[in-house]
């Protein structure tokens, strides 16, 4: 099986150490359970929450995503025509609500990969992966 690059692991929501185990229990489109994370990697047993409250820092990544989304929707609407303030507010609110599961997940995934202090260790795969 092909090893994932760091960018592919982030995009797929995989563990930063082995790049094989899933970080979330359910798919993002399961709107009642999209927030539920696995406590540890199913392959290398890395604990995803590095310390109590670790993912509070993911709010900064989420904030950056939200600002980028607001700017994109705002610029897109201004290019398309002359709209009222109400249209801008409703459009940005609707876009954030529609993308909430994705924004939530990727803010946590990116935060863990970038600031979790976890290095990629492909040898962990060979010692702990029972499927190969």
HEC string of 92-105 equals HHHHHHHHHHHHHH
Model-level pTM?
A: 0.85
Closest CA to 68 of 99, 105, 24, 37: 99
Q: Is residue 105 part of a domain?
A: yes
Q: Which residue has the tokens 């590095």?
A: 50
pLDDT band at residue 132 using 50, 70 and 90 as cut-offs: very low
Structural domain range at position 35: 6-128
Q: Is residue 91 part of a domain?
A: yes
Q: Is residue 90 part of a domain?
A: yes
Q: Is residue 1 part of a domain?
A: no
Exposure of 127 in the CB half-sphere (CA atoms within 13 A)? 7
Domains identified in the chain, total number: 1
Q: Is residue 56 part of a domain?
A: yes
Per-residue pLDDT tens over the stretch 45-103: 999 999 999 999 999 999 999 999 999 999 999 999 989 999 999 999 999 999 999 99
Q: Is residue 38 part of a domain?
A: yes
């Amino acid at each position: 099986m092909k090893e994932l690059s760091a960018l592919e692991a982030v995009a797929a929501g995989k563990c930063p150490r082995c790049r094989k185990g899933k970080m979330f229990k359910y798919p993002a489109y399961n709107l009642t359970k999209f927030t539920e994370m696995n406590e540890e990697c199913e392959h290398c047993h890395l604990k995803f929450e590095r310390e109590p409250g670790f993912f509070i820092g993911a709010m900064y990544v989420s904030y950056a995503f939200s600002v980028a989304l607001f700017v994109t929707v705002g610029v897109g609407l201004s290019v398309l025509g002359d709209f009222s303030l109400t249209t801008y507010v409703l459009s940005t609110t609707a876009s954030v609500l529609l993308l909430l599961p994705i924004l939530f997940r990727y803010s946590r995934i990116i935060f863990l990969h970038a600031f979790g202090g976890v290095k990629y260790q492909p040898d962990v795969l060979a010692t702990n992966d029972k499927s190969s």
